[in-house]
A and B are shown apart, each in its own frame.
Chain A
Amino acid sequence: MSDAVKDKVIEIIAEQAVLEKSDVKMDSTLESLGIDSLGLVESIFAIEEAFDIQVPFNANEPSESDFDISSVAAIVAAVQGLVKEQAA
Chain B
Amino acid sequence: MKRVVITGTGTINALGKTVPETLAAMAEGKCGIAPINIRDVERLSVQIGGQVRNFDPEAHFNRQQIALYDRFTQFTMLAAKEAIGQAGLEFHGLLADEAGAIFGTAGGGVNTWDENYRTVYEDGKNRVHPFVVPKLMNNAAASHVSMEYNLKGPSYSVSTACASSNHAMGQAFHMVRSGASRAMVTGGAEAMLSFGGVKAWEGLRVMSKDACRPFSANRNGMVQGEGAAVFVFEELEHAKARGADIIAEVVGFAMSSDAADIVMPSKQGAARAVRGALRDGRINPEEVGYINAHGTGTAANDKTECAVVADVFGSHADKLMISSTKSMHGHLIGGTGAVELLACIMALRDGVIAPTIGYEEPDPECALDVVPNDARDAKVKTVLSNAFAFGGLNAVLALRQAP
Contacts and interface: CB of A to CB of B under 8 A. Distances in A.
Contact of A37 (B45, B207, B220, B264): B264
A60 B219 contact: yes
Most buried by B among A37, A41, A60, A61: A60
A59 B208 contact: no
A8 to B, nearest CB: 21
A60 B298 CA distance: 6
B323 to A, nearest CB: 20
B66 interface: no
Contacts of B263: 38
A58 B203 contact: no
A57 B205 contact: yes
Contacts of B298: 59-60
Interface residues of B, number: 16
A4 to B, nearest CB: 26
B299 A41 contact: no
B220 A61 contact: yes
Contacts of B207: 58
A57 B264 CA distance: 18
B204 A41 contact: yes
B221 interface: yes
Nearest to A44: B205
Nearest to B218: A61
Interface string A31-50: 00000011001001100000
A58 B204 contact: no
B203 A59 contact: no
A44 B204 CA distance: 11
Interface string A41-78: 10011000000001001111100000000000000000
B203 A60 contact: no
B366 interface: no
B340 to A, nearest CB: 21
A54 B203 CA distance: 12
Interface in B178-229: 203-208, 219-221
A61 B213 CA distance: 13
Contact of A41 (B45, B205, B219, B262): B205
Contact of A59 (B45, B205, B219, B262): B205
A74 B299 CA distance: 23
Contacts of B206: 58-60
Contacts of B220: 58, 60-61
B221 A45 contact: no
B204 A60 contact: no
A44 B300 CA distance: 19
Interface of A: 37-38, 41, 44-45, 54, 57-61
12 contacts: A38-B263, A41-B203, A41-B204, A41-B205, A57-B205, A58-B205, A58-B208, A59-B206, A60-B208, A60-B221, A60-B299, A61-B220
Interface of B: 45, 203-208, 219-221, 262-264, 298-300
Given A58-B206, A58-B207, A60-B206, 15 more contacts: A41-B204, A45-B203, A58-B205, A58-B208, A58-B220, A58-B221, A59-B204, A59-B298, A59-B299, A60-B208, A60-B220, A60-B298, A60-B300, A61-B220, A61-B299
7 tightest Cβ-Cβ pairs between the two chains A and B: A60-B299, A59-B205, A60-B221, A60-B220, A59-B206, A41-B205, A61-B220
